[in-house]
Chains A and B, each alone.
Chain A
Amino acid sequence: MAHRDIAIRAEGLVKHFKDIKAVDGVDLSVPAGTVYGVLGPNGAGKTTTVRMLATLLRPDAGSATVFGHDIATDPAAVRTQVSLTGQYASLDEDLTGVENLVLLSRLYGYTKPAARSRAEDLLEAFGLGYAAGKQVKSYSGGMRRRLDIAASIIITPKLLFLDEPTTGLDPRSRNQVWEVIRTIVGEGTTVLLTTQYLEEADQLAGRIAVIDTGKVIAEGTPGELKSSVGAGSIRLRLHNTDQRGHAQKVLTDALGAQVEFDDDPVALTALLKPGEDTAAQGSHALGELAKAGILVDDFSLGQPSLDEVFLALTDRVDA
């Protein structure tokens, strides 16, 4: 059981399509039993990476193992461990919901009656029982996604690839998919999730690899990624516009930090010093403002958002 704790280990994966280097040396180490986020914009190489790990594409260079099985030399063993929900619904549109799941259950080796009962149970659990007899082409985006994920857990996989599972979904469907993902991980399946939504990675993933132009440009927990960019900031909205200059001076003295005026005439932002307790700096700043008689309408203390992280990281690469 040497590989018990690592679901995926990838080293230097490369894939070219003609002249384009879609994936240009990706290293990954995905701990088992967690959601691992692969975050990046369109065309960053997320899907190509997933397709290589799911044995759909052969890497041009580099190597990877899934629960210890090499994707290049033993793809059949990898296939017994994984399931894939692709970016575009991996379903047969001409068939009904129940026919899709029965077909796949048969392909996993279920007998006819067992396949039918497994299919029906899954449709009920995913709230799709009422649409079981309808062709998939009539399903909405959210319904397709759920049927697609249902198809991926006919046999509970050790590793589930979800390629942009919520792209194009409305907020309610997206929340339902998130719930499903959390439930699946709760039962011990490892999930590799690709997304272009920073909030999604932040919400679901224990660790994140940020990928851009075919390379991993940063890796860590959401918290680590945020703190790698800066310590965060205090944003204030004042009661009186004419106190802004005074407030700026008080904050600069109190925090020794850079304080800037926002576009909003009553607002200003102080960037906190990295390496010091954010909360303590916040309370200290508020206390000094109160002593100086400055009225504050709104106060927020925040870590940098993943959006800021992402922009900062990609800027660094472009530079």
Chain B
Amino acid sequence: MAFAETKTRPDQDAPAPVEKDRLRKLLAQVERPAAPSPWAAARAFGWRSMLKIKHVPEQLADILLFPIMMLLMFTYLFGGAIAGGTGDYLQFLLPGIMVMSIVMTTMYTGMSVNIDIHKGVSDRFRTLPIWRASPMVGYLLADVFRYAAAGTIMFGTGMVMGYRPSGGPDGVLLGVALLLVFCFSFSWLWTWLGLITRSEKTVMSISMTILFPLTFLSNVMVDPATMPGWLQPVVENTPISRLVDGVRGLFDGNVETSAVTTTLAWSAAFVAVFGFLTVRAYNRR
């Protein structure tokens, strides 16, 4: 008996015959629904990405574990050396490290765009009469969901470790919202890169080269006042530093309006420039 079972089940691969009469009836239904609105098309693509998470849940692991790892590592390994104690340092670090790790995970968007665009399915999408940017917006919608999940987990872990936001729940929600708006906008850089590069490996190495200096050259881990004088104005004015100022301010309840408006201005600029380049690259492929 142990040898009698075989894995070959020919019926499995022998689908029922095509039902021609049914097919004819379906073909004869020529009335066509009105084309979907841009937003409806983007939502459909967002739903597709969510289904992919459902079918391949491993892809969430990266995006959820990486931030927790960063939080634990920087608090307990470097907290003592940088700030002389882990408790106070966590209070300073949490908003920044949340920005840093979630901004770093945005590069996965570029990789999935690149993998997708080389598959036959994107040919089909590109021959559909829909808003040209909707597949990209769809990716980003699902990604924003992932970032929100990562943000929640980081915040929860921080609370367990002793973090207390003085800005209250409103401040925290607004801070996370600001971060999500920035990530959505910043990711258009990756969709563009995903479309114009040859392989996902290239996307990854280019994104790393951009992300490492951009996130480390910031006020995430240390106060820029400790840096050499010539470096301070540079570090204080990168988009990431301004975002961290905004999120940290909202979490702490002492936000500068200019940090929020500058971040929103940067976000608008990213969408305008890289959104345009993305759609152009998508049309030219």
A95-B55, A125-B23, A156-B27 known; A180 vs B33 contact (CB < 8 Å) = no
CA of A95 to CA of B51, assembled, Å:
7
Q: Which residues of B contact A187 (CB under 8 A)?
A: 24, 27-28
The answer to whether B127 touches A82, judged by C-beta atoms less than 8 angstroms apart, is yes
Chain B residue at smallest Cβ distance from A57: B285
The answer to whether A109 touches B284, judged by C-beta atoms less than 8 angstroms apart, is no
A135-B55, A143-B13 known; A92 vs B24 contact (CB < 8 Å) = no
The answer to whether B16 touches A80, judged by C-beta atoms less than 8 angstroms apart, is no
The answer to whether B33 touches A104, judged by C-beta atoms less than 8 angstroms apart, is no
The main secondary structure of chain B at its interface with chain A is helix
Name A146's contact: one of B18, B55, B56 (CB within 8 Å): B18
The answer to whether B124 touches A84, judged by C-beta atoms less than 8 angstroms apart, is yes
CA of A121 to CA of B34, assembled, Å:
20
Q: Which residues of A contact B18 (CB under 8 A)?
A: 125-127, 146, 176, 179-180, 183
Nearest-neighbour CB distance to chain B for A179, whole angstroms, equals 6
Nearest-neighbour CB distance to chain B for A244, whole angstroms, equals 48
Nearest-neighbour CB distance to chain A for B28, whole angstroms, equals 6
Q: Which residues of B contact A151 (CB under 8 A)?
A: 124
- A114 interfacial by beta-carbon distance below 8 Å: yes
A99-B51, A126-B18 known; A58 vs B26 contact (CB < 8 Å) = no
CA of A183 to CA of B121, assembled, Å:
24
A79-B128, A80-B129, A94-B55 known; A56 vs B22 contact (CB < 8 Å) = no
A84-B123, A107-B36 known; A92 vs B48 contact (CB < 8 Å) = yes
Interface residues of A in 74-91 (CB under 8 A from B): 76, 79-80, 82-84, 86-91
Q: Which residues of A contact B28 (CB under 8 A)?
A: 156, 187
How many positions in chain A have a CB within 8 Å of any CB in the partner chain? Answer: 59
Nearest-neighbour CB distance to chain A for B36, whole angstroms, equals 5
A108-B33, A135-B55 known; A56 vs B27 contact (CB < 8 Å) = no
A94-B55, A183-B27, A187-B28 known; A107 vs B13 contact (CB < 8 Å) = no
Which one of B15, B27, B36 has the highest number of Cβ atoms from chain A below 10 Å of its Cβ?
Answer: B15
A107-B41, A108-B33 known; A143 vs B123 contact (CB < 8 Å) = no
Name A90's contact: one of B33, B40, B124, B130 (CB within 8 Å): B124
Chain A residue at smallest Cβ distance from B11: A130
Q: Which residues of A contact B40 (CB under 8 A)?
A: 106, 109
- B164 interfacial by beta-carbon distance below 8 Å: no
The answer to whether A109 touches B32, judged by C-beta atoms less than 8 angstroms apart, is yes
The answer to whether B127 touches A130, judged by C-beta atoms less than 8 angstroms apart, is no
Q: Which residues of B contact A114 (CB under 8 A)?
A: 33
- B204 interfacial by beta-carbon distance below 8 Å: no
Name B128's contact: one of A95, A107, A176 (CB within 8 Å): A107
A86-B120, A92-B48, A146-B15 known; A126 vs B127 contact (CB < 8 Å) = no
- B30 interfacial by beta-carbon distance below 8 Å: yes
Q: Which residues of A contact B19 (CB under 8 A)?
A: 124-127
- B52 interfacial by beta-carbon distance below 8 Å: yes
Chain A residue at smallest Cβ distance from B53: A94
Q: Which residues of B contact A55 (CB under 8 A)?
A: 126-127
Interface residues of B in 19-70 (CB under 8 A from A): 19-20, 22-30, 32-36, 40-41, 44, 47-48, 51-52, 55-56
Name A125's contact: one of B26, B33, B56 (CB within 8 Å): B26
Nearest-neighbour CB distance to chain A for B83, whole angstroms, equals 44
- B84 interfacial by beta-carbon distance below 8 Å: no
Q: Which residues of A contact B34 (CB under 8 A)?
A: 109
The answer to whether A94 touches B56, judged by C-beta atoms less than 8 angstroms apart, is yes
A76-B129, A106-B44 known; A156 vs B36 contact (CB < 8 Å) = no
Q: Which residues of A contact B51 (CB under 8 A)?
A: 94-95, 99
The answer to whether B124 touches A86, judged by C-beta atoms less than 8 angstroms apart, is yes
Name A142's contact: one of B15, B30, B121, B126 (CB within 8 Å): B15
A95-B55, A107-B128 known; A143 vs B15 contact (CB < 8 Å) = yes
A99-B51, A126-B18 known; A83 vs B127 contact (CB < 8 Å) = yes
- A32 interfacial by beta-carbon distance below 8 Å: no
The answer to whether A126 touches B23, judged by C-beta atoms less than 8 angstroms apart, is yes
B 191-212 binary contact with A (CB < 8 Å = 1; else 0): 0000000000000000000000
The answer to whether A94 touches B36, judged by C-beta atoms less than 8 angstroms apart, is no
CA of A12 to CA of B44, assembled, Å:
38
The answer to whether B120 touches A91, judged by C-beta atoms less than 8 angstroms apart, is yes
Q: Which residues of A contact B121 (CB under 8 A)?
A: 89-93
- A184 interfacial by beta-carbon distance below 8 Å: yes
- B17 interfacial by beta-carbon distance below 8 Å: yes
CA of A93 to CA of B44, assembled, Å:
17
**Extra contacts besides A55-B127, A79-B129 (7): CB < 8 Å:** A51-B123, A95-B51, A103-B48, A106-B47, A108-B33, A127-B17, A189-B27
Closest 9 interchain pairs by CB?
A: A127-B16, A109-B33, A90-B124, A125-B22, A187-B27, A88-B120, A90-B120, A106-B44, A79-B129
Could you pull out 19 A-B pairs where Cβ atoms are within 8 angstroms? A83-B127, A89-B120, A90-B124, A92-B52, A94-B51, A106-B44, A108-B128, A109-B36, A109-B40, A125-B22, A128-B15, A130-B15, A140-B13, A143-B13, A155-B32, A176-B17, A179-B18, A179-B20, A186-B24
Interface residues of A (CB under 8 A from B): 51, 54-58, 76, 79-80, 82-84, 86-95, 99, 103-104, 106-111, 114, 121-122, 124-131, 135, 140, 142-143, 146, 151, 153, 155-156, 176, 179-180, 183-184, 186-187, 189
